Amino acid sequence: MIELRTPAQVEQMRPAGRFVADVLTALVAKADVGVNLLELDALAHAMIRERGAESCYLDYHPSFGASPFGKVLCTSVNDAVLHGLPRDYVLRDGDLLSVDFAASVDGWVSDSAVSLVVGTPREEDLRLIEVTDRALDAAIAAAVPGNKLGDISFAIGEVARAAGLTINLQFGGHGVGRTMHGDPHVPNDGRPHRGFPLREGLVIAIEPWFLHTTNEIYTDADGWTLRSADGSRGAHMEHTVAITADGPLVLTART
By the rule CB under 5 A, 24 interacts with Mg ion: no
By the rule CB under 5 A, 79 interacts with Mg ion: no
Q: Which is nearer to Mg ion, 51 or 181 (CB)?
A: 181
Q: Which is nearer to Mg ion, 41 or 238 (CB)?
A: 238
Task: State the Cα–Cα distance between residues 252 and 50, nearest whole angstrom.
Answer: 19
Task: State the Cα–Cα distance between residues 96 and 148, nearest whole angstrom.
Answer: 33
Span from 59-67, 82-90, 189-197, 230-238 in contact with Mg ion (CB under 5 A): 230-238
Task: State the Cα–Cα distance between residues 127 and 241, nearest whole angstrom.
Answer: 24
- Burial (CB < 10 A; 0-12, 13-18, 19+), residue 136, is buried
Task: State in angstroms the smallest separation of the CB of 207 from Mg ion.
Answer: 6
Q: Which is nearer to Mg ion, 111 or 125 (CB)?
A: 111
Measured between alpha carbons, how far is residue 171 from residues 83, 111, 126, 224, 246 in Å? 11, 15, 23, 13, 29
Q: Which of 207, 226, 210 is nearest to 218 (CA)?
A: 226
Q: Which of 148, 192, 195, 182 is nearest to 5 (CA)?
A: 182
Task: State the Cα–Cα distance between residues 91 and 34, nearest whole angstrom.
Answer: 5
Span from 24-32, 52-60, 100-108, 245-253 in contact with Mg ion (CB under 5 A): 100-108
Span from 41-49, 51-59, 61-69, 113-121 in contact with Mg ion (CB under 5 A): 113-121
Q: Which is nearer to Mg ion, 148 or 180 (CB)?
A: 180
Task: State in angstroms the smallest separation of the CB of 220 from Mg ion.
Answer: 18
Q: Which is nearer to Mg ion, 97 or 113 (CB)?
A: 113
Among residues 41, 100, 151, 189, which is the contact residue for Mg ion, using CB under 5 A? 100
DSSP states along 42-54: HHHHHHHHHHT-E
By the rule CB under 5 A, 189 interacts with Mg ion: no
**Which residues here bind Mg ion, judged by CB under 5 A?**
100, 111, 113, 238
